[in-house]
Chain A
């Protein structure tokens, strides 16, 4: 059974870069027709899609975050990663990694989620 697990620092200083990794276990990140996404949720608020990557390295980003976001993949480690630069308090949120099975169908939905990790931006 495939599982996703986020990891990374829980505290980041303002203006620095937030870095998170999602490890895929129970299956290969390269198998199947999946995109791999990052989604975040500020406390008490709704969900915001950040971006996604395919194992070829092809990416799509939320236009509102595109200038600050980089998503990469390391198939040898079965991981994909998020970097968000120049963070402010507004970037404080629970960050989720998720699987999107829409590569072949063109669909957009998230059928598997990690448990999420809280990242706080504070000095």
Chain B
């Protein structure tokens, strides 16, 4: 059982927007603005999409955005494209004892 809770799957049609939630606790997501999101295509390594809740690394499309409210972080993908179909994982700092925890992952299907 993962420390952060994500929906197992979400889906959307090309051009639509979807949001993936990542629910933690006051010990991780709720206490630190250190949430990151990763995209993973089958058989590939994860790729950083968002860090520090809402910052995008260079080269990542501005269709990807992140936010946080209380103990829940969210990843929004706008203007869905076929290549966005992948697994998405959230990650949060959880203090100096636990360090970092991941969500269980969400499979995004582009219909």
Residues of A within 8 A of B (CB): 45-49, 60, 62-63, 96, 107-111, 113-116
Contact of A109 among B2, B48, B103, B104 (CB under 8 A): B48
Contacts of B34 in A (CB 8 A): 107-109
Q: How far is the CA of A45 from the CA of B57 in the complex (A)?
A: 25
Interface centre among A46, A107, A114 (most CB of B within 10 A): A46
B30 interface residue (CB < 8 Å to A): no
Interface 1/0s, chain B 44-73, versus A by CB < 8 A? 111110011000010000000000000000
A108 with B36, Cβ < 8 A, contacts A47-B89, A62-B99, A63-B97 known: yes
Q: How far is the CA of A15 from the CA of B52 in the complex (A)?
A: 39
Residues of B within 8 A of A (CB): 2, 34, 36, 38, 44-48, 51-52, 57, 89, 91-93, 97-105
Contacts of B100 in A (CB 8 A): 49, 108
A115 with B48, Cβ < 8 A, contacts A60-B99, A109-B36 known: no
Q: How far is the CA of A49 from the CA of B104 in the complex (A)?
A: 13
Q: How far is the CA of A112 from the CA of B76 in the complex (A)?
A: 22
Q: Shortest Cβ distance from B16 into chain A, in angstroms? A: 26
Return the 5 tightest CB-CB contacts between A and B, nearest first: A109-B36, A113-B45, A109-B51, A108-B93, A47-B102
Closest Cβ neighbor of A4 among chain B residues: B45
Closest Cβ neighbor of B50 among chain A residues: A109
Q: How far is the CA of A45 from the CA of B17 in the complex (A)?
A: 26
Q: Shortest Cβ distance from A103 into chain B, in angstroms? A: 14
B89-A46 in contact (CB<8A):
yes
A113 with B46, Cβ < 8 A, contacts A63-B97, A108-B36, A108-B93 known: yes
B36-A49 in contact (CB<8A):
no
Q: Shortest Cβ distance from B37 into chain A, in angstroms? A: 9
Q: How far is the CA of A120 from the CA of B76 in the complex (A)?
A: 36
Interface centre among A45, A47, A107 (most CB of B within 10 A): A47
B48-A49 in contact (CB<8A):
no
Closest Cβ neighbor of A62 among chain B residues: B99
Contacts of A108 in B (CB 8 A): 34, 36, 91-93, 99-100
